[in-house]
Amino acid sequence: MKWRRTPKMQSLKETVHRKPAVAAVYFVLRALVILTMIRQFINGDYENVFLCALTLVLFVMPAFLERRLRIDFPDTMEIVILLFIFATEILGEIRSYYTTFPGWDTVMHTLNGFLCAAVGFSLVDMLDRNERFSLSLSPVFLALVAFCFSMTIGVLWEFFECAADTFFLRDMQKDAVLDAISTVALDPTGGNTPVVIRNIEDVIVVSGGQQIPLGLGGYLDVGLRDTMKDLFVNFIGAAVFSSIGYFYLIGRSKGRFARRFIPQVLEDGDAPEKAEPPAQT
1 occurs within a structural domain: no
The identity of residue 206, as a single letter, is V
**What pLDDT score does 75 carry?**
94
Measured between alpha carbons, how far is residue 257 from residues 76, 122, 138, 247, 262 in Å? 9, 14, 21, 11, 9
271 occurs within a structural domain: no
**What pLDDT score does 265 carry?**
74
* CA-based nearest residue to 85, from 57, 118, 127: 57
Domain count of the chain?
Answer: 2
Same domain membership, residue 198 and residue 92: no
Cβ contact 84:108 at 8 Å: yes
Same domain membership, residue 94 and residue 18: yes
Cβ contact 135:257 at 8 Å: no
**What pLDDT score does 241 carry?**
96
274 occurs within a structural domain: no
Same domain membership, residue 115 and residue 238: yes
Same domain membership, residue 196 and residue 79: no
Q: What is the largest CA-CA distance in the chain?
A: 89
**What pLDDT score does 136 carry?**
73
Same domain membership, residue 185 and residue 91: no
**What pLDDT score does 70 carry?**
82
272 occurs within a structural domain: no
CA distance 85 to 21: 17
Same domain membership, residue 193 and residue 119: no
Same domain membership, residue 89 and residue 14: yes
70 conformational bin, left if phi > 0, alpha if psi -120 to 50, beta if neither = left
**What pLDDT score does 281 carry?**
40
270 occurs within a structural domain: no
Same domain membership, residue 208 and residue 163: no
**What pLDDT score does 238 carry?**
97
Q: Which residues of the chain have pLDDT under 70?
A: 1-15, 130-135, 252-254, 267-281
278 occurs within a structural domain: no
90 occurs within a structural domain: yes
21 occurs within a structural domain: yes
Q: Three-state SS across 187-247?
A: CCCCCCCCEEECCCCCCEEEECCEEEECCCCCEEECCHHHHHHHHHHHHHHHHHHHHHHHH
Same domain membership, residue 150 and residue 74: yes
Q: What is the pTM of this model?
A: 0.86
Same domain membership, residue 167 and residue 106: yes
Cβ contact 120:108 at 8 Å: no
CA distance 271 to 274: 10
Q: What phi and psi values does residue 41 have, to the nearest 5 degrees?
A: -65, -40
CA distance 98 to 101: 6
Domain of 75 in residue numbering reads as: 7-171+222-265
Same domain membership, residue 232 and residue 214: no
Same domain membership, residue 127 and residue 254: yes
